[in-house]
Amino acid sequence: MSPPSRRLQTKPVITCLKTFLISYSLIFWFTGVILLAVGVWGKVSLEAYISLASEESTNAPYVLIGTGATIVIFGLFGCFATCRGSPWMLKLYAMFLTLVFLAELVAGVSGFIFRHEVRHRFKLHCCGVKNYTDWSETAYFKDNGIPASCCKPSANCSPENLKDMDKAGKEVYRTGCFALVTTVMEGNLGIIAGISFGIAFFQLIGIFLACCLSRYITNNQYEMV
């Protein structure tokens, strides 16, 4: 059994690590909520753009939804494991954070592939892949016409006009989105790389905190024997 003074020195360290790890887990949980929301938004709002950009459907929204939901669940698990002070739970949490790091790499790659489908988030004033007439070859156009998101701010984009390619040409942006989105993405690759590095570093912090807390709790239990 170790001296009482040593145990008293260990407890403040454990309390400090618990505080940091709970704060980390809450931030981690919040990032999961964001990924989940983006995935749902991409699936619900960009279905037409997905069919236009490629004949094959993309799994990017599902990857984001799955990753976000898993992060939300394990973020709560991390808070619970920290409050309980269970070494095996903390080790499991650290293992999960390692897996999440790999999953985020997959999500990042999927997001890069998904970049052509989020052009209206950049407000680039464009329509279609090459130009607005690309919509005429899609099933979406037969039922709905050209999407209202292609309309100019002061345009008269009635459903009838959007279903008539000649009339729609006067009301929507005529420039295609592929080149514009590519230019924006290429111009921000440095920012994207920085964010990716920041996410990776953030995961390492969580793994370090969980492992350290598990070790201190285990050592403290042995010291009390």
Q: pTM of this prediction?
A: 0.55
Give the C-alpha separation, 48 to 139, whole Å.
9
Give the C-alpha separation, 153 to 41, whole Å.
23
Residue 72 three-state SS: helix
Going from N- to C-terminal start, the domains of the chain cover 6-126+175-223
* Residue 104 pLDDT class (50, 70, 90 cuts): low
Which one, of 39, 106, 108, 26, lies nearest residue 68 by Cα? 39
Q: Tens digit of pLDDT for each residue in 16-57?
A: 889 999 999 999 888 888 888 888 887 776 655 555 555 445
Percentage of the chain modeled with pLDDT above 90: 8
* Residue 119 pLDDT class (50, 70, 90 cuts): very low
Which one, of 73, 101, 126, 112, lies nearest residue 193 by Cα? 112
Q: Tens digit of pLDDT for each residue in 210-224?
A: 988 988 888 876 555
Q: Tens digit of pLDDT for each residue in 135-184?
A: 888 888 888 888 887 888 776 778 888 888 888 778 888 777 766 666 66
Dump the DSSP string for 210-221.
HHHHHHHHHHHH
Long-range pairs, 11-19, Cβ under 8 A, ≥24: 11/220, 13/216, 14/85, 14/213, 14/216, 14/217, 14/220, 17/209, 17/212, 17/213, 17/216, 18/82, 18/83, 18/85, 18/213
